[in-house]
Structure 1
């Protein structure tokens, strides 16, 4: 029999190509696209094979539920995200979901039920690759998403409300238990209504567990397959718009130019300089830039770029953000440009629950690995889910620490170790609930 960890990796590989990708020759699975729906359909089938009932919630999260011994007890939620960045890797997000499915499958094959149900959840748009706000659907589940956050538009001019209203899930085989959650509206049973989005809030949960590739080099440098995450760094993300004057590139002399792109370029370098000068865990990134009108013979009249600022220390993060915005405003003023900077999201530092970390450490030791703890510089759905319930994260070694890249790689043996740790964690959580 193929090990659960190996099968989890193989399933991530299967979802790395068409029809589960929106781009040829690489992986890009954006929220609410045909590729996203196709991946959900495949995942729903795997969830059902593992013994779960499956549903879509009003934010189009796919949820598989494995009932426990106690009716209506708060559920242990295990999840991660199904979407990807453009030209991304196959394991960032989906591996945590697949390992959750494998954990339930192992319990189901043993005929074992816990004193709580287990829900495996596949979130969407964690990356913010389609809409300019990350972790949309986990924020809906955690109940921290407001109506204003739904007023977003993707790069093609499609609003989130339109995307969710027109989302159609592929129908599964006749007799499938797959269904939509109650309250998604009338009409076809695979349609999700946009006006129900915020009702995706989960009523209650016992805890949330997320297994994820490290996306960094620490575990590999330590020679370790897995590690216990202590918490997730605080994040700020902004959208900056620099406005100048579009004009003819051949007739406008240099002193008369109000070039939005050159102004934005100076701003991006200022962001890097400030972050480097802090000499700490602070990082700042201008990850996406767009120039208008985008013609070779026209001076750019507008440039838009994102700013991502992170630190394990929220005060350090906020202080750097103030310095960065002040520097950008000074550059705009000196160049005769207009600058607007809008806050997209503010995610506080999110520590993992100490008792859950202890259970992960114990489970790691039982499988013969030395327990090791590390902080996450990357954001994850777990930091949002902390508003709903205690959270825990397990990091899995990835080769060379590479992520958000087609070269992303996970050893199936490491995935198997992670699966056994998750099962040990579930057992220990079950023991504590039963003893309470």
Structure 2
């Protein structure tokens, strides 16, 4: 038997093993039974053609049909509500491939879920002698045809026997033209050093989740030090992504400046899953990630509740009453912890975590010394649960200061700007 005959025989066996889903067959029969009797002869031909098409379809998509409905087992501890729901429905693709790491550890790529927003990889590390839960693969990336996706975030959980670790790793979306993907990563050795590993597995873009909404926004909001432009929204079953650009002078002056941008669907707040930004000469591009949109969508609204702002103060604050409680300035609180005189003056202060002082200097009479640098920044939790940001301001002088000058401050300002996103039905 030559090679062609072998392939034909294998195809024949595969087609013979395929069983037409009973529900689909019944639906076809019911639809054809509605055809008038005078067209009975044609109906037999249509029935044969439909079944022939079904056979070809199932044969061509054999792996997709075989894997559909399989649930990834053992990932309940690391799945969010959305991913758990999708898994309960048997969505995604089963991979079930593995590779040796080192020192008795073996990595299993169990399955993936993919859409236009992200790819989620489910993996297991096993070792009968024990798995180090702190030693996870790192510097992960996925490559393929027109694909070079970097890892975004991940989580993992070690079982009670400490011999099996289940993990989830999210990646940037992959190309719809990729048919195979290669996972690249590094892994630390218990004996020291590291190894580089990769594993290639099949990817079926036809099994990726469909995009529910994709449209441009082209909406701009002006803020104190610039403007924020929202360019697009992409909603998929795993999450909703808002993309945009911004040119804001003090964007990096407060932590988590994007956290105050909310998305409401049907007047209900969607949880923000995360955000990210990249800067270039043209400005800063950003992404906001939220929970998926509800199946029944009646309204959608983007709200800039808070964003980084700037307040001009030009205030002179006395340093004579150190440690007697916070000093009120510009609607904020400033705690002067202590002043140390060494080779320079060090003033340790504390504010709320979203406040950064601008144009700071100290003075004694007519002598004014500007801030040289800031060191030893840390967060401290107060007895009332409030988080304060403590840091030490360094001034190149040995003269004991009487006052501190603050020209302005960067902070999370309340904007309450709203953008209604049209829903295309």
Question: TM (normalized to structure 2)?
Answer: 0.24
Of Structure 1 and Structure 2, the greater strand share is in 2
Question: TM (normalized to structure 1)?
Answer: 0.24
* Structure with greater contact order relative to length (CA < 8 Å, sep ≥ 6): 1
